[in-house]
Structures are given as structure tokens and as C-alpha cells.
């Protein structure tokens, strides 16, 4: 049948860890330990990538790169990337279990989708070792997809490469990319979906792209909520998203809409 068969969800900032805070603070800390102050915006910009790629991308940013050269008297090299990552991984692992609470509406939405016969896959920028902490802790709290793929299983080719999505499709026996929806909360999530040829959807509230905690978001005035929501939506659409949703609860209805588009012969990323 010509309709959506499976949904592939990101983890931190999409299904667990509202605001995607687990990795951000660690990125800031490891650079601070190296004598370089990075901003939260800089730490978040590559979010969704494999974490060592994330560090490499941060070091390549002109401002951080210049500070590194000033501090060390040379441009950064691959050993610097490895040294920072060696500090990053144990620091993240130490706190990761605290950042596994499902985001509001996720558990209920996944149940609705499963009841409609959809398969639920997932991709992540975390490694297998990190997911050994995240997966069982999320399960205890009620969230569990049918499968998950990390960049460890795609020769470390994480986002924005499409390969983790393809591995999900293989495991879940999904028949065509245009019958698959990918939902994520970062630009690299959007690009992963676009590159895979699936319907690429950005979720706004709780996203790393928004970068606010649950309390911070809820303390905003209605007009400020609208402004920040519009900003994130614009960012996702500029980077190739087919659609955005404010929260996961909008996903089942959007999938119905996509099914209608498919029946009209429409395909993803056709703008």
C-alpha cells in the first residue's frame, strides 16, 4: 500500500531529554578545561552528529579555531580532537542516566502510531556505549522504539549521512524511502532525512535547536513562545525539512496528511 510504513525518531531533544542538555554542558566544560570559553550556541550548532565529529566541527568554527591557535600557538590537529573526545566520553557517561526522561507526549504518540500499524525505528549521535545507558533507562520510564542504530554500526558515518536511516529500513523491512518519516530536533537530523530521501520533520518544543529547558520554555510569555517557535521552524525549513511539528502529539495527524500527499503522487523533499 502506498502509505507511510515506519517512523524513525531521534533520541535526545526529540524523544528524551527535553532541550537536549546532556551533551551540551559537557562540550562547554571540555573546551573550558582546554582554556577556551565556547558559547552555548557554538556547543549546540553541530548537535545530532556523532560526538567526535561534533568536537571536530566545533574546532573548525572560525572563532574557536582562532582562539585555539592563539592559546596553543598552532592550528588544531586530529590528536587534539581525540584528546578532547577522550575527556568528553567519560564525563557524558557519568551524567547520562539523568537525561533519559521521555519528553511530554512521546510515549502516548508512539502508542498511537503502533496501534496504526507503524514501525518505530531510531537513530542517534550517541555511540553504542552511550546507548547502553540511555536505552534501559528510557525503557524503565516507558519509552522504547523497535530498534536503534548508532554511528558505530555505520562505520562511524553518522549524520548528516543517511546510512543509519537505511539500516533502520533494513531491520524494520520498510519497502521504500518515501514510505518513511524521520523526526528530529537538530539541523543534522533534518539533513539526515533529506539525504536519505525520506519525509524529514523537525520537532520544535524541547528541541536542541530551541535550546530551552522545560521550565524555561513554560515560563515564557505566549508571544515569546510564538517568536522562539517561529525562529526554530524557519531554521528547519531553511535546511530542507518537509514539515515541522510543535510537539510529537501532532505527528499522527501529519502522517495522515502525508499519506494523502503520497496518494496524489507527491514525494519527500520535492520543493
CB 121 within 8 A of CB 145: yes
Which grid cell is 37? 570559553
Q: Is the dihedral of CA 212, 213, 219, 222 positive or negative?
A: positive
The DSSP line for 186-232 is SHHHHHHHHHHTSEEEEE-TT-TTT---HHHHHTS-HHHHHHHHHHH
11 Cβ neighbours under 8 A, 6+ residues apart: 17, 122, 124, 126, 131, 134, 138, 148
CB 99 within 8 A of CB 10: no
Which grid cell is 230? 517561529
Q: Residue 233, preceding bond cis, omega within 30 degrees?
A: no
- Residue of 51, 105, 182, 191 marked catalytic: 51
Q: Is residue 132 annotated as a catalytic residue, yes or no?
A: no
CA angle, corner 80, sides to 76 and 86, nearest 5?
155
- Residue of 10, 53, 189, 242 marked catalytic: 10
Residue 29 counted as an annotated binding residue? no
Q: Is residue 10 annotated as a catalytic residue, yes or no?
A: yes
User: At 7, is the secondary structure helix, strand, or coil?
Assistant: strand
Residue 66 counted as an annotated binding residue? no
Residue 9 dihedral angles phi and psi, to the nearest 5°: -110, 145
Residue 12 counted as an annotated binding residue? yes
List the binding residues: 10, 12, 185
List the binding residues for Mg(2+): 10, 12, 185
Instruction: List residues with catalytic annotation.
Output: 10, 51
Amino acid at each position: 500500500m502506498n502509505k507511510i510504513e515506519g517512523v524513525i525518531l531521534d533520541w535526545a531533544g526529540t524523544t528524551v531529554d527535553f532541550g537536549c542538555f546532556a551533551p551540551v554542558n559537557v562540550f562547554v566544560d571540555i573546551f573550558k578545561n582546554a582554556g577556551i570559553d565556547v558559547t552555548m550556541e557554538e556547543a549546540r550548532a553541530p548537535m545530532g552528529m556523532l560526538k567526535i565529529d561534533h568536537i571536530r566541527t566545533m574546532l573548525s568554527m572560525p572563532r574557536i579555531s582562532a582562539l585555539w591557535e592563539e592559546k596553543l600557538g598552532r592550528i588544531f590537529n586530529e590528536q587534539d580532537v581525540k584528546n578532547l573526545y577522550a575527556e568528553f566520553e567519560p564525563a557524558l557517561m557519568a551524567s547520562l542516566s539523568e537525561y533519559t526522561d521521555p519528553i511530554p507526549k512521546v510515549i502516548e504518540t508512539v502508542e498511537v502510531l503502533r496501534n496504526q500499524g507503524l514501525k518505530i525505528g531510531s537513530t542517534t549521535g550517541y555511540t553504542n556505549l552511550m546507548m547502553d545507558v540511555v536505552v534501559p533507562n528510557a525503557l524503565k520510564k516507558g519509552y522504547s522504539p523497535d530498534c536503534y542504530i548508532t554511528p558505530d554500526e555505520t562505520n562511524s558515518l553518522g549524520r548528516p549521512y543517511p546510512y543509519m536511516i537505511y539500516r533502520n529500513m533494513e531491520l524494520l523491512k520498510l519497502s521504500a524511502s518515501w514510505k518513511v518519516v524521520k523526526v528530529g530536533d537538530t539541523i543534522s537530523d533534518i539533513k539526515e532525512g533529506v539525504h536519505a530521501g525520506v519525509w524529514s520533520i523537525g520537532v520544535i518544543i524541547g528541541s536542541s535547536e530551541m535550546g530551552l529547558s522545560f521550565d524555561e520554555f513554560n515560563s515564557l510569555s505566549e508571544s515569546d513562545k510564538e517568536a522562539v517557535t517561529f525562529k526554530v521552524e524557519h531554521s528547519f525549513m531553511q535546511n530542507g525539512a518537509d514539515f515541522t511539528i510543535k510537539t510529537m502529539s501532532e505527528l499522527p495527524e501529519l502522517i495522515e496528511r502525508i499519506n494523502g500527499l503520497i496518494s496524489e503522487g507527491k514525494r519527500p523533499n520535492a520543493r
